[in-house]
Every structure is written in C-alpha cells, then in structure tokens.
Amino acid sequence: MTTKERILQGAHDVFQRNGFSGATMQAIAEKSGVNKALLHYHFGTKSDLFHAILQQSFSQLLPAVFMALNSEMPLRNKLQNVVELYLGTIIKNPELPLFVISELQRNPSFIRKQIKLRAFPPRFVQQVKDATTRGEIIRAEPADIMADLMGLCILPFVARPILQHLSGKSNAQYKEFLQHRVQHVCDVLVGGLFHVQR
C-alpha cells in the first residue's frame, strides 16, 4: 500500500466520520501515520483532498445503481434487483449515504461541476412511462420512484441511532433487522407501486 493510498484511506475515514468542517488535516495525518505537510505535498489543499474523497464516495454509490436501472430487465424485477444492489453496497459501507448527502447539501455546486449523470436512465424512464399508461403501476414519475427507492434503503442507516434506540435492538439485532429489510423494501416498493392483477 503506497503512501498516497494510505493518505486517501485515512482521509476517507476522517472525512466520512466528521464531515469537511469537522475533519482536520492533523487528524488525517495521524490516521494515515504521516506528517501533516505530506498531505499538502501530495494533495494540495484540504478542499482538494476532500473533493477527491467526495468524488470517489459518490461514484461508489449511484453509477452502479444507474447502470442496473438502465438494463433491459422488466420493471418489476429491475426494482427488486436495484434494491438488492443498493442495499448491498450500503451495508458494506454504512456511513457512505449520510456523508455524501450532507456534504452535497452543504456544497451543492459540486454536483453541477463534477457529476456527469444529468438525468435518470432513459430505459428506466421509458419503462415507468409505459407502465403508467398501461395502468400497471400507480401514477408516478421516475423521480418519485427514485426517491422511494433511495429513501426506503438509506433511512435505517442514516437514522440508525434514533431507530435503534427506539426499537431497543442490540447491535446484533439491528444487523439482523437490516438483513431482513432487503426483502421488506422490495415488498413495499413493488407492492406499493404495482396494481394487483385481478
């Protein structure tokens, strides 16, 4: 593992846990086992380093989902597929969504500058339109479904402290809860969007 990589790893940890304002170059240096000046030598300013991390974090989340949303699968299976993919990613990196979301909220210009995704996947949009006109699903636009999907998936992670406290679950129990939740989200999403066959 090269020094640059160790720094990126340390920066990732510190930024993700504390956000941009809460993180200090000193903390990142210590976490990476490296002198503070070396951060600037390799990565310029704090903002530069931060943007590198944010970019990487962001691209870890959405692009895969978008690719799945753009596949040729029928809508119903596709949704199920995306939920599994999305939740799988988040379970492996539970702090990712809140980090990306809060930092994008406080730095919205980042989106316009850096993010190349400028619309929902066209195949997904078309499927939603078709399914609506055919009356297979309730009247909804892609943004709604995208919001449903993301909201159902990320909430147990971003609001974990509250939810775990209220439900009185141990860490192990909460983990189990998260496992079961994949199926639950699929059920709610598909069941809530699709009309029943009569």
Q: Is 83 in the site for a second copy (CB under 8 A)?
A: no
CA distance 132 to 72: 18
Give least dist CB 159 to a second copy, A: 6
The pair of three-digit structure tokens given for residue 179, joined into one six-digit string:
């496992």
Give least dist CB 38 to DNA, A: 4
Binding window for DNA (CB under 7 A); candidates: 30-38, 59-67, 139-147, 164-172:
30-38
Interacting residues with DNA between 32 and 91 (CB under 7 A): 34-38, 40-42, 45-47
- What is the separation, in whole angstroms, between the first and last Cα of the chain? 59
CA distance 135 to 4: 54
Pick one of 25, 34, 91, 188: the residue that binds a second copy (CB under 8 A).
Answer: 188
Q: Is 119 in the site for a second copy (CB under 8 A)?
A: yes
CA distance 9 to 144: 35
Pick one of 2, 21, 170, 171: the residue that binds a second copy (CB under 8 A).
Answer: 21
Q: Is 17 in the site for a second copy (CB under 8 A)?
A: yes
CB 90 within 8 A of CB 156: no
CA distance 97 to 137: 28
DSSP per-residue letters across 51-97: HHHHHHHHHHHHHHHHHHHTSSS-HHHHHHHHHHHHHHHHHHSTTHH
Q: Closer to a second copy by CB, 38 or 71: give it.
A: 71
Q: How many residues does the chain have?
A: 198
Interacting residues with DNA between 151 and 170 (CB under 7 A): none
Contact letters for a second copy, residues 164-183 (x by CB under 8 A) = -xxxxx-------x---x--
Instruction: Provide the binding-site residues for a second copy, judged by CB under 8 A.
Output: 17-22, 62, 98, 101-102, 104-106, 108, 111-112, 115, 117-120, 138, 140-144, 146-148, 150-156, 158-163, 165-169, 177, 181, 184, 187-193, 196
